[in-house]
Chains A and B, each alone.
Chain A
Amino acid sequence: MTEKLSPVDLHLKAMDVLDVALAGRPDPSGLREILGADLEVLERGDLVRLVMVVAADASLAIGPRTRPDVRRRLGRMRLEAMWQGSE
């Protein structure tokens, strides 16, 4: 089962991901940990879009280029999204 995220839902979920990405935990946090059961119903495209919206927001929030440690977390999340999401 999959559902299409509305732009508003996408941004709300992206804010949760961004909060974790900015928190600066030593270990990169996974999408599954952040989104929980939501992960099971999201399409792969939505997951990747979600991470990229976060990257855009992080870039805006932090400066022209996203901070390296945040970028690292987002890079891992993006790869995870490519693997996790349904098609």
Chain B
Amino acid sequence: MTATVRVTTDSAQPIWASRGDRRIGWARAAVGTGDDAAAAVLLDLLERDSMLTPEVAVELVPGIWDLCATPMLVLSVDRWAALFRRAGYTHDERPAEPPRDPVRLYRGSDPRGEFGMCWSSNPDVARLLASHYPGEGRVWTAIVEPWRLLAFVAPLYEDQYVVDTAGLAPELFEGPDLVSKLDLDVLMERLDAVVDTAAAEGRLP
């Protein structure tokens, strides 16, 4: 007796679609366990294979970005930009219109981090992060065109824009001499005050 095995596929779905679905599932699971690198790499693979839909990108890209402490160690600027552009501009993880006008933003890091993609509209956030690098920390500023703005995330405390920094020309705003004199408690109090004001005015997200 000979058994006949028939392999069937749903004609509406390409045969590799289930593989994409599994990767999306893995990416969601990776977010749940806090594995930022796995989640970002899975999304990158999906995007490269043209399997990342805008809907899934909106759901996962800003959240996975938020999960990453050092996103530039996981993917390059152009790969992150490709992921965010697939999602379209988001504000606090929701689809939104990007700002119409250029915005002045600030970034704090050591000299290696000048072209990182996390920028804040609040210079105190950049100062605080620059102070993580004693003797080396500095704050850059740039007027950023709307097309470079990929998303607005972390609206509480960080006021963070994700910026496509390819070709950006930041200016040094404060060097290590100024950053080293910063009082962290004073900076944190000022950041608390910004959030207090937003709360009093009913503007907390």
Contact = CB atoms under 8 A, between A and B. Distances in A.
Contacts of A11: 33
Contacts of B32: 53, 56
B174 interface: no
Interface in A30-87: 44-45, 47-50, 52-53, 56, 68, 71-72, 74-76, 78-79, 81-83, 85, 87
A73 to B, nearest CB: 9
B191 A50 contact: no
Nearest to A84: B132
A52 B70 contact: no
Interface of A: 7, 10-11, 14, 28, 44-45, 47-50, 52-53, 56, 68, 71-72, 74-76, 78-79, 81-83, 85, 87
A72 B67 contact: no
Contacts of A71: 156, 204-205
Interface of B: 31-36, 66-70, 125, 128-129, 131-132, 154-158, 184, 191-192, 195, 199, 204-205
Given A82-B129, A83-B128, A83-B131, A56 B156 contact: no
A41 B157 CA distance: 25
A7 B129 contact: no
B131 A79 contact: no
Contacts of B155: 75
Contacts of A81: 69
Given A44-B70, A53-B33, 6 more contacts: A47-B69, A49-B34, A49-B67, A53-B34, A79-B128, A83-B129
A48 B33 contact: no
19 contacts: A7-B35, A28-B192, A45-B68, A45-B69, A45-B70, A49-B36, A52-B34, A68-B205, A71-B156, A72-B195, A72-B204, A75-B154, A75-B155, A76-B157, A76-B192, A78-B154, A78-B158, A81-B69, A82-B132
A32 B33 CA distance: 22
B170 to A, nearest CB: 19
